[in-house]
Amino acid sequence: MYKSAGNIVSRTGVLYPWPKQLLSACKDAKSISQIHALMIFTGVFSNGDSNGQLIASYARIGDVTSARRVFEESPQRGVVTWNAMIIAYSRNDSPNEVQNLYRRMILEGVRPDSSTFTVTLKACSSLLDLKAGEKIRSQAIDFGYKDDIFVGSSILNLYAKCGKMDEALGIFNGMTKRDLVSWTTMITGFAQSGQPVEAVEVFRRMQIEEIKGDAVLMVGLIQACTNLGDMKLGISVHGYMIRQHLPMDVVVETSLVDMYAKKGLLNLASRVFEKMSYRNVVSWSALMSGFAQNGFAGNALELLIEMQSYGFKPDLVSLVSALLACSQIGFLKLGKSIHGYIVRRVEFDRVSGTAVIDMYSKCGSLSSARILFDRISYRDSISWNAMIASYGIHGHGKEALSLFLQMKLMSQRPDHATFASLLSALSHSGLVEEGRYWFGIMHSDFGIQPSEKHFACMVDLLARAGLVEEAHKLIGSMEDEPGIAVWVALLAGCRNHGKLELGEKVAKKVFELKPNDPGIYALVSNVFALARKWDEVALVRKVMKETGMKKVPGYSVVEVRGKLHAFLMEDKSHPQHHMIAAMLDRLEYEMRAMGYVPRTEYVLHDLDEQVKERMLCNHSERLAIAFGLLNTGPGTRLLITKNLRVCRDCHEATKFISKIVDREIVVRDIKRFHHFKDGVCSCGDYW
C-alpha cells in the first residue's frame, strides 16, 4: 500500500481516492462505515492519522458512540487519534469524558500536544475545575508548551471562568506572545467577573498597541458597558463598530439589544433588533426579557407570540421571561399553560422551577407555589429563597420565618438572597424585633456580611414601621458608601410617614445619584411635590425625559372569567367607561357618607384640590375594581394586579368599597398583596 497523487493504491493494485476527501463528503453513519471498511481492506486503518479522520467524521455528524467504537478498536493510537476522540467529546459537550481520556492518555504514555492541552483545559474551564486545570497547566509547561499561544489563552480562560482574574492578569502580563484571542479572553473575563472598568482598561491598552478588535471582542466590551450601565460608552462602542466596519453578526447585535434593553432604552433596543438581518431564539428572548424586566409585560408576551409566528420555538430562557411577565400582570391562566409547556416540551431546570413558584405566588396562588416547592426534587437555596419571598409578599412574615428555620434544620445554607427575602418578609409584616435580631446575627452566626441590599431591607423595615430616625442612623453606621437602594428605602419611609424635611434632603441625594429607574424618579418627584417644591418636580421630569427612559405607565389588570382587562390611569377608552364612571360616583358617594376623605397629597401636580380628587378616583386600580364589580356576580372575589405601588388613597378607598359591596378584593401591587375584606386590609395599613 502506498500513497500516490492523492490516491491510495491497495495491495491488489486497485486505485482508491485518499479517504480524507471521501470522509469529508460523508453525511451519514452508513457512508462513513463503508469507507471504514475500505480503509481496513486497504490496510490504511492501521495508520494513526486515518483513525483520527474516521473518528472526526463520526463526531462531525454527531455520532460519538461510533466514534468511540472506532477509537477503542484502533490497533494503534497515535496523538492524532487521541486528539480526535478528545475533540469529539469536547464538541459533544462532554467535558468529563475529555478529562477521562486525557488521564488515560497520560497513563498510556502518549505524548500530548498543544491541541490536547488546549481542549482539555477548555473542558476544565467549563467544569469550573480549577484544580484539574492547574495540574494540566503544569503538565503543559513540562511538555514544553509554556509559550504556546493556544495553551496560553486556554489557561487565561480557565482562570477567568473560575473568577480568578488577578491570576489571569498576572499570566497575561507575563506572556511572551499575545493575540486577539488572549486579549478577548481578558476583556470578556473582566466583563463577566463584574469588573467592567478593568475590561475597558484592557481594551484601552489594546488600542495603544494598535490592535484591532473583532466581533467576539466587541461582545465582551458590550457586556462590560452593560454591566457598567454606561450608555455613553456603550453607544460609543456601537458607533466604533460601525465606523471601523467591524462585522456585525447575530451575537454582537443580540448583545447590543441586551445592553440597550437592560438599561430600559427599549426603543433603541427594538430598533437594533428590527434592523438585524438574521435573528435567533436568543435575540428574541434578549428583547423579550428587556421588556419584561422593565415592566412592559404586555410587549414581552406579544413578542412570545410573534417569535413563534416566525417559527422560533421558545427556549427555557424566553419562557422564564414570559413567566416574569405573567407574574407582573397576574396572568395566572397563561402562567399555568407555560408551566405545562415547560413540563411537556422543555423540562425544568432550577431557574425555571423557581420562576414558576414565583409566578404562582404573584398570581395569587400561594398554595400552588407551596405544592410545587414541596414537589421539586432538587431544592437549592434559590428555590427556598423564592418560597420565603412568596410568603413575604403575601404578608405572611411568620410563615416566611418558619420556612427559614426549616431551611436551617435541613442544613441548607442560607445565602445573601435568603436574608434579603427574609428581611423583606419581616418588613412587610412589621416584625421589627425579628428583623433586628436576624440582621444582627447574620454575620456572626452565618458568616454573611450584610451587603447594601440587606441594609436597604433593614432601612425599609425600620422606616416602614415609622422608625425613620433609626433607619437614618443605620445608614450612618454603614462602612461602605451607602448606595441608591438604601436611600430610596429611606425616602419611601419619609414619604409614607410625612417626614418631609428629611425627605427633601434624601430626595436630592437620590436624584444626584442618577437612578436608572423611572419608578425611583417618580418617588423623588412625589416627595418634592409633597414638599411643594414645584421647581424640583419640573427638574426631575426634565432629566427623566433627557435620559430617554421609557416611563412605565401605571396600569391595573383584573381577570374576569379568564380574560384579562387592563386599565391605564384615567383610562376613558373602555367601552364600558360610562358605566364604570357611574359606579365609581355611586361608590364615592357612599364612601364619603361613611367617613372617607380623599388623600390628595399623593397627587403629584400643582393643581386645584378638586381636580386632584378627580384624578385620584381615576387611578387605574379603581377603574379595574369598578369594572370587576360590574362584570362579576355578587360575592365573587376580585383579583387586581397593579404594576406600581397601590396609592394610599386607593388603598383607603378599597377598604370602604370592600365593605359597601361586601366583596373580597385582592390587590397585588409591585411589592405585596393587599387582601381587603369587611372594610379592613390584611396589611393592617402597614406601609
Partner DNA sequence: CAGTGAACGT
The binding site for DNA (CB under 7 A) comprises 80, 83, 87, 90-91, 113-115, 118-119, 122, 125, 148-154, 157, 179-182, 184-185, 188, 192, 213-217, 219-220, 223, 249-252, 254-255, 258, 262, 280-283, 285-286, 289, 293, 315-318, 320-321, 324, 349-352, 354-355, 358, 382, 386
* Core vs surface per residue 635-652: b (16+ CB within 10 A) or e: eeebbbbbbbbbbbbbbb
Under 8 Å between Cβ of 364 and 601: no
In angstroms, what is the minimal distance from the CB of 253 to DNA?
8
Q: Which is nearer to DNA, 164 or 350 (CB)?
A: 350
User: In this complex, which beta carbon is closest to DNA, that of residue 322 or of residue 638?
Assistant: 322
- SS3 call for 676: strand
Shortest Å distance, C-beta 315 to DNA: 6
Nearer to DNA, 47 or 255 (CB): 255
Q: Give the strand pairing for 555-560 and 15-17.
A: unpaired
Give the CA distances from residue 199 to residues 188, 232, 591, 595, in Å, rounded to whole numbers and listed in that order.
Answer: 7, 16, 60, 61
Shortest separation between residue 568's beta carbon and DNA, angstroms: 24
Amino acid at 363: C
Q: What is the 3-state secondary structure (H, E, C) of 572-638?
A: CCCCCHHHHHHHHHHHHHHHHHCCCCCCHHHCCCCCCHHHHHHHHCCCHHHHHHHHHHHHCCCCCCE
Q: How far is the CB of 355 from DNA (least distance, A)?
A: 4
Instruction: Give, in order, the Cα–Cα distances in Å from 429 to each of 17, 361, 400, 554, 578.
Output: 79, 17, 10, 25, 39
List alpha helices for 193-331, DSSP H: 196-208, 215-228, 231-243, 250-262, 266-275, 281-293, 297-309, 316-329
Kindly tell me which of 222 and 584 has the beta carbon lying closer to DNA. 222
**Residue nearer to DNA on the CB measure, 246 or 560:** 246
Nearer to DNA, 220 or 628 (CB): 220
> Which is nearest to 155 in space by CA: 183, 203, 118, 188?
118
Based on CB atoms, which residue is closest to DNA, 59 or 566? 59
Q: Which three cell numbers stand for residue 136?
A: 494540566
Give the Cα separation of 258 and 261 in Å (integer). 5
Q: Please give the biggest Cα pair distance in the chain.
A: 110
CB count within 10 Å of CB 401 equals 21
Q: Report the nearest approach of DNA to the CB of residue 79 (Å).
A: 9
CB of residue 41 to DNA, shortest distance in Å: 25
CA distances from 467 to 454, 477, 526, 527 (A): 17, 16, 21, 18
- Find out whether 506 and 494 touch, Cβ atoms under 8 Å: yes
Least separation in angstroms between CB 283 and DNA: 5
Which C-beta is closer to DNA: that of 26 or that of 629?
26
563-568 and 638-642: which strand pairing? unpaired
> In the complex, what is the shortest distance from the CB of residue 378 to DNA, in angstroms, rounded to a whole number?
12
Cell numbers placing 63: 455520532
Q: How far is the CB of 49 from DNA (least distance, A)?
A: 8
What is the residue type of 213? G
Q: For residue 560, give the H/E element and its range.
A: strand 555-560
Whether residue 229 contacts residue 483, with contact meaning beta carbons closer than 8 Å, is answered with: no
Check: CB of residue 64 under 8 Å from CB of residue 92: yes
Which is nearer to DNA, 58 or 627 (by Cβ)? 58
Q: Of the two residues 284 and 487, which places its CB atom closer to DNA in the complex?
A: 284
547: helix, coil or strand?
A: helix
Looking at the Cβ atoms of 356 and 426, the one nearer to DNA is 356
Check if the beta carbon of residue 584 is closer than 8 Å to that of residue 614: no
Query: What's the sign of the alpha-carbon dihedral 69, 70, 75, 77?
Result: negative
Determine the Cα–Cα distance for residues 648 and 633; give it in Å rounded to an integer. 27
Q: What sign for the dihedral angle of Cα 369, 373, 374, 375?
A: positive
Minimum CB distance to DNA, residue 85 (Å): 12
Least distance to DNA from the beta carbon of 211, Å? 10
Element (H, E) at 114: helix 114-127
CB closer to DNA out of 110 and 251: 251
Cβ atoms 250, 257 nearer than 8 A:
no
Q: Minimum distance between the CB of residue 383 and DNA, rounded to whole angstroms?
A: 7
Which residue, 312 or 439, is less far from DNA as judged by CB?
312
Nearer Cβ to DNA, position 370 or 651? 370
Q: Which is nearer to DNA, 88 or 650 (CB)?
A: 88
CB of 68 to DNA, least distance (A): 17
> Do the Cβ atoms of 177 and 153 come closer than 8 Å?
no
Whose Cβ is closer to DNA: residue 159's or residue 521's?
A: 159
CB of residue 255 to DNA, shortest distance in Å: 4
Q: How far is the CB of 18 from DNA (least distance, A)?
A: 14
Whole-angstrom Cα distance, residue 442 to residue 454? 10
| Distance of alpha carbon 145 from the chain centroid | 39
Q: How far is the CB of 180 from DNA (least distance, A)?
A: 4
Rg (CA), the chain: 31
